[in-house]
Amino acid sequence: MKTETRHEHFEPPSLLGTILRKLHIDIPLFIGLLLASLLSFVILYSAGSQDMDVIIRQAQRVGLAFLLMTIIAHIDPYQFKRYSTLLFGLGILLLIAVLIMGQIGKGAQRWLELGLFRFQPSEMIKLTTPMMIAWYLAEHPMPPKQKHLIVAGLLIIIPTLLIAKQPDLGTALLVFSSGAAVLFFAGLSWIFIAAIITTLSALTPILWHFMHDYQRDRVLTFLNPEADPLGRGYHIIQSKIAIGSGGIYGKGWLGSTQSELDFLPESSTDFIFAVFAEEFGLFGGLSLLTLYLLIITRCLYIASQAQDSYNRLLASSLSLTFFVYVFVNIGMVIGILPVVGVPLPLISYGGTSIVTLLSGFGILMSIHTHKKFR
Amino acid sequence: MYTIKDHSLENRLFLNRIVTSFFVIILLTSGLIVRLIYLQIVGNEHYSSLAKDNSVKIVPLVPTRGMIYDRHGNVLAENTPSYSLELIPEQISNIDETLLSLQTLLAIPNDKIELFQKLRKRQKRFVSTPLLLSMNDEELAKFAVARPYFPGVDIHTHLVRHYPYSDLTAHVIGYVSRINESELKDLPISEYRGSTHIGKLGIESSYENDLHGKTGYAEIETNVQARLLNTLNEVNPEPGGDLYLTLDINLQKTAYDALNGFNGAVVAIDIKTGGVLVFVSRPGFDPNPFVVGISNETYQALQTSENQPLYNRALRGLYPPGSTVKPFVALAGLEFEAISPEQQLFCPGYYQLPGVDHQYRDWKKGGHGSVDLNQAITESCDVYFYRLASMLGIDHMHSFLQQFGFGEKTGIDLIGEKTGLLPSREWKLAQKKQSWYPGETLITGIGQGYLQVTPLQLARATATLANQGHVVTPFLVDKIVRAHETSPGPETHKDTITLKQENVNTVIDGMINVIHSARGTAKGINTHINYQIAGKTGTAQVLGIKQNAKYNENSIDFKFRDHALFVSFAPANDPKIAVAVIVENGGHGGSVAAPIAGQVIKQFLKDNNEN
């Protein structure tokens, strides 16, 4: 590998620089995440009927998630690589455990009760799947050969199906895309990509057969929301009304009428973007998208600067998956994608998703701040 | 195999992909932006007017749940008004003061005030918020007098499900309770918008769709603060259908009272139709607290009670049928021509398989001597049936008993029925990984061993026997009455078992002698009747008795005493009602279980003017 020339003569590091290096924090990324979290409090206050308790609870979770991110950023990325298979295997076992307990309890179950808190194995698998695939592909020359692709494909399909069975379509989709993203960055040939897309579309009728009734309803409602305005179509119609009535400049903070009047359900969780777009308009929507783009761009930059194959694949997959998160949620809220249960990353109310997300950013920071210069 | 990596190729490939993904992201984000522009600029006018129209709010109108009646029109489940004290904070000038005076007036405990304060914070100021639920008459009267001094405080009425017969019908009617989260996911959202309760058990659950009704809605005009201004349009809800059951509540009460002091079950079936007349599982429980929200302590007490009151014994209780299976085994013997009615078998008090030491004992020490089929049923001779079972073999017994519904659900219109267990060679090989032993055939012949039945299955098999092999399918709902139409209950399939009538009558003669002959095991119930009852007693072991040990009823713990069983039908020459009784730890079928069935039969035939 080429030796980088810009480090041949060292400048004496500034005090601030030293502290930041010690903290293993990537400042641009950190600022972006902080901004998004602050924005989240602002909008949650409005969406959650101005209940301060909601903000305090969320702030505690976000604080905890930031702490976890910093801790993870301190771990040398070599350790992630080393424990990839172990963590992935553990995650799969826990998923199976949850599924079996769900069968015994005769209902959908997604978590394990651990006394003090609930643990969702599907959240853990969101990170360990790209770790596993990256580890596996990094062992071999890239672009990956056919047999490696088949193994990697299986490693993606297993957790995806286990989660889809829970049934949690949203998370299954995210896990699938995190694994597929690794394949893409490893240099999966375009012919293969085209082949996979064709196969997936051919599989749609089979998938339809295995879907739960409520999942089928969601797809049907997405195709024609007006058909069931009191029931399934309610979310989409109300969310479109909220966003559309926001106009260019929005109705101002706390000015949303749709969520205030309880027309918009799940306004604090999956449908929070509708409240945001109603109150801050197109202007606000574009600003939020820009903030997301800046975060993603920084992540991709970190991936491009990463030094070994494992780090690159993992970093780039985490970046792309974050975008999938954003795209699927906003796409669903503005009515161009079906309603799958995916929260708006960094903004929606809820603890589990933000902890996983910031852990992922912790990995990215670790990769960026642990380079061994030669 | 290890291939040397080409790092510069990998580098180029990777950076290439990073750039590609960046452009894809930009492209897809542009898609989102285009859609946002379409909604917020192009569609702004359209959606703004829709948002204003949203001040016309659609509110669901919840239908009234259907009533449940017994066969004579007695109310088993109704909707009774319940009164709650509600406050509209906006209309009250000093809320703390008002709460304080209400507290002294009505002696409201502090925790209810706190709950109200919490509730109030979550709601808008103009929303009526409950302080007291289900007020009693005294509270109502006290407040009615003081009402003028409390502007903004009022009494509201709503309907609450009520079960007047409480414990008596708890297992068969079931109850409604608050919809929980997992149920909410599978429910049709539009149909249950506004509904708070759903059937959880028994008829309430099995007929949820018929009882619930169809939700209507009202279009209500509200102002910016969501205050009601005007009702524009109303689509009335369709009330749920009223269910008329085949159950006879008086007969049910007779059976329940007769079981007093014991745990057990009684099922009685109208043989002509299959309609269930009595469906008792004792102990019952009061279902009414489940409707308004049962306290944790009450629920825990029910859950952990040794008598298991929440357990539906009639539908889900599994018991060895004991000697009540003998009429069916006898009929199998005749049908397969393994034995003739006149053929006598000698009973020395025990039976041994060739080459085996183990003695299969008769309940009667010293034996019954030589008995034919009729006597064997009358006196419940075990040795006769050991030998008959041995002659028949398990395969024949299995196929024959299966036709009477042993080991199969009866198909009653209640959710949660147990299958029971009718053992066979195949079953044992699959479940126990063992082949079938000849000894197991013997004990199956007297209703012990693996064989397990529910009280409902026993009643059904007896009804089918009484009905000359025309299979009786039990059901509870006779008809569903809606506003504009009445529909019948569930369709029952009408299979017939091919049997020789003379064989059936031979077995029935034996069953008549159980009650009407001097040596019958249930002769105690043949008084005060001018018709004949056919029946069979049974005793099912709870505790295994060792080879040389003696079972002494008085020396062992109550909970290890034998279960007492009795199956019967009447009148024997023109069967109308079949009854199965199981008394847990009751001891003897003849002395404990038979009188209960006797009471039910006598009352039913008297009420229906049979004598």
Report ipTM (2 d.p.): 0.89
pLDDT band at A220 (very low <50, low <70, confident <90, very high): confident
Annotated catalytic residue: which of B323, B380, B390, B568? Answer: B323
CA distances from A74 to A28, A31, A312, A363, A365 (A): 17, 18, 18, 9, 8
CA distances from A97 to A103, A112, A212 (A): 10, 8, 21
- Pick from A67, A182, A85: which is nearest to A128 by CA? A85
Q: Is B25 on the interface with A (CB under 8 A)?
A: yes
Residue B228 distance to chain A (closest CA, Å): 12
A322 Cβ neighbours under 8 A, 6+ residues apart: A295, A296, A299, A345, A357, A360
Contact B61, B236 (CB under 8 A): yes
3-state SS of A101-143 is: HHHHCCCCCCCEECCCCEECHHHHHHHHHHHHHHHHHHCCCCC
* pLDDT at residue B230 in the model: 67
Q: Is B323 a catalytic residue?
A: yes
Mean pLDDT, rounded, for A86-115: 75
* pLDDT at residue B226 in the model: 55
* CA gap A90, A125 in Å, rounded: 9
B87: burial class by Cβ within 10 Å (0-12, 13-18, 19+)?
buried
* CA gap A210, B276 in Å, rounded: 39
Q: Is A127 on the interface with B (CB under 8 A)?
A: no
* CA gap A327, B31 in Å, rounded: 10
* CA gap B339, B347 in Å, rounded: 16
The pLDDT averaged over each successive group of 10 residues in chain B (611 residues) is: 68 92 96 94 84 67 92 94 85 85 88 81 72 85 87 85 94 89 74 83 93 82 60 80 96 95 94 95 93 83 90 94 95 94 91 86 88 93 94 95 94 93 94 91 93 96 95 94 86 85 95 91 86 92 56 62 92 95 87 93 84 44
- What single-letter DSSP state applies at residue B471? -
Residue B10 distance to chain A (closest CA, Å): 6
* pLDDT at residue A103 in the model: 62
Contact B550, B502 (CB under 8 A): no
Beta bridge partners of B69: B75, B244
* CA gap B587, B322 in Å, rounded: 12
* pLDDT at residue A208 in the model: 79
* CA gap B345, B343 in Å, rounded: 7
H or E, element range at B245? strand B242-245
Q: What is the DSSP string of B111-163?
A: HHHHHHHHHHHHS-TTS-EEEESS--HHHHHHHHHHGGG-TTEEEEEEEEEE-
Beta bridge partners of B477: B245
Q: Which of B6, B15, B37 sits opposite A304 (nearest CB)?
A: B15
B491: burial class by Cβ within 10 Å (0-12, 13-18, 19+)?
exposed
Name the CA radius of gyration of chain B, rounded: 33
CB contacts, 8 Å: A232 with chain B: 189-190
* CA gap A224, B322 in Å, rounded: 61
3-state SS of chain A is: CCCCCCCCCCCCCCHHHHHHHHHCCCHHHHHHHHHHHHHHHHHHHHHCCCCHHHHHHHHHHHHHHHHHHHHHHHCCHHHHHHHHHHHHHHHHHHHHHHHHHHHHCCCCCCCEECCCCEECHHHHHHHHHHHHHHHHHHCCCCCCCHHHHHHHHHHHHHHHHHHHCCCCHHHHHHHHHHHHHHHHHCCCCHHHHHHHHHHHHHHHHHHHHHCCHHHHHHHHHHHCHHHCCCCCCHHHHHHHHHHHHHCCCCCCCCCCHHHHCCCCCCCCCCCHHHHHHHHHHHHHHHHHHHHHHHHHHHHHHHHHHCCCHHHHHHHHHHHHHHHHHHHHHHHHHCCCCCCCCCCCCCCCCCCHHHHHHHHHHHHHHHHHHCCCCC
Taking CB atoms and an 8 Å limit, are A327 and B32 in contact across chains? yes
**What are the structure tokens assigned to B546, written together?**
């060792």
* pLDDT at residue A11 in the model: 55
Taking CB atoms and an 8 Å limit, are B25 and A293 in contact across chains? yes
A59 Cβ neighbours under 8 A, 6+ residues apart: A41
Q: Is A371 on the interface with B (CB under 8 A)?
A: no
3-state class of B249 per DSSP?
helix
Name the CA radius of gyration of chain A, rounded: 21
Q: How far is CA A83 from the centre of its chain?
A: 22
The beta strands (E) that lie in B335-476 are given as 345-347, 350-351, 360-361, 369-371
Contacting A residues, span 253-292, partner chain B, CB-CB under 8 Å: 257-258, 260-263, 277, 281-282, 285-286, 289
Taking CB atoms and an 8 Å limit, are B39 and A323 in contact across chains? no
* pLDDT at residue A261 in the model: 46
Phi, psi of A234 (to 5 degrees): -55, -50
- Pick from B585, B538, B562: which is nearest to B385 by CA? B538
CB contacts, 8 Å: B44 with chain A: 244-248
- Pick from A81, A92, A95, A133: which is nearest to A363 by CA? A81
Q: Is the pLDDT of residue A140 over 80?
A: yes
Residue A284 distance to chain B (closest CA, Å): 11
The two beta strands, B242-245 and B68-69, are: parallel
Q: Which domains are assigned to chain B? A: 59-245 (3.90.1310.10), 249-607 (3.40.710.10)
What residue of B is the nearest CA neighbor of A250? B40
* pLDDT at residue A2 in the model: 45
Taking CB atoms and an 8 Å limit, are B47 and A241 in contact across chains? yes
H or E, element range at B177? strand B176-178
Taking CB atoms and an 8 Å limit, are B32 and A289 in contact across chains? yes
* CA gap B424, B393 in Å, rounded: 10
The one-letter amino acid at A167: P
The one-letter amino acid at B418: K
Q: Is the pLDDT of residue A44 over 80?
A: yes
H or E, element range at B514? helix B501-516
B451: burial class by Cβ within 10 Å (0-12, 13-18, 19+)?
buried
- Pick from B81, B83, B69, B95: which is nearest to B165 by CA? B69
CB atoms within 10 A of CB B73: 8
* pLDDT at residue A165 in the model: 81
Taking CB atoms and an 8 Å limit, are A142 and B14 in contact across chains? yes
